[in-house]
Structure 1
Amino acid sequence: MIVNLTPHPVRIYTADRPDGLDDLELGLVRVIDPEPTPARLAVLPLSTQYLEGIRVEVVEYLHTDHLPDPQEGTSLIVSLPVALALLPRRNDLLVPYSEVRSASGTVIGCRQLAQPV
């Protein structure tokens, strides 16, 4: 089972789906709707420093909000920042890969999913 923990539907298109078209249906293989609450990076403030008079907060991004524990047979689609922050601790995370873009350049889907390692 694949669960979408991004805040938007993930549209999977055929490998030969061209970019630059606004037709959301052309080459569409599957739509994976999002769960009600997306997984997000949680920020843990560690300290404050000053650099040339500018306040700089030292933060840690190795934690997430709303990410369930791994379950056998379940893969989770998350944003790339979430997946990268959890490497190599999680092997059940997938990200959209080989994006499909509309005529204006907006990402409307992907041709496949990837598992960051």
Structure 2
Amino acid sequence: MILNLTPHPIRLYNDDRPDGIDDLEPGLRLVIEPEPKPARLGVMPLSTEYRDGIPVELVQYGHALGLPRRAEGVSYVVSLPVALALAPRRSDLLVPYREVRNASGTVIGCRQLAQPV
């Protein structure tokens, strides 16, 4: 089972779907609707320093919010920042891969899912 923990539907297209088409239907294989609560990458502020008089916050990323524990037979589609931060510890995280773009260059879907390692 694959669950979508992004805030957007994941549209999976056939390999031969060309970019540059605004119609969402041609080549559409599957839509994975989002779950009610998306997984987010949490941030922990550590301290503030100043560079050229500008405050710069030192922060630590890597704490996921809204990400369920591993479950047998379940994979989770998450954003790339979430997957990259947790890849060393979580093999159940997937990201959209080989994006499909419309005529204005906006990502509307993907051709595959990938597992960052």
Q: TM-score, normalised by structure 2?
A: 0.98
Structure 2, gaps ≥5 residues long: none
Aligned length: 117
8 Å contact 2:3–2:76 — kept in the other structure?
yes
Q: Is the aligned partner of 1:98 residue 2:98? A: yes
Task: Measure the CA separation in 2 of the matches of 1:18 and 1:87.
Answer: 30
The equivalent of 1:11 in structure 2 is 11
Secondary structure at the residue paired with 1:83?
helix
Partner of 1:78: 78
The equivalences for 1:19-34 within 5 A come to 19-34=19-34
Aligned mates of 1:114, 1:87 — CA distance in 2:
12
Q: Report what 1:113 is aligned to.
A: 113
The alpha-carbon deviation at position 87 of structure 1 amounts to 2.1
SS of residue in 2 equivalent to 1:100: strand
Residue segments in structure 1 that go unaligned for 5+ positions in a row? none
Taking the TM superposition and a 5 Å limit, the aligned residue runs for 1:47-58 are 47-58=47-58
Amino acid at match of 1:30: L
**Alignment RMSD:** 0.5
Q: In structure 1, what is the Cα distance between the partners aligned to 2:57 and 2:10? A: 34
* In 1, Cα distance between equivalents of 2:92 and 2:13: 22
Q: List structure 1 runs of 4+ shifted beyond 2 angstroms.
A: none
Report what 2:88 is aligned to.
88
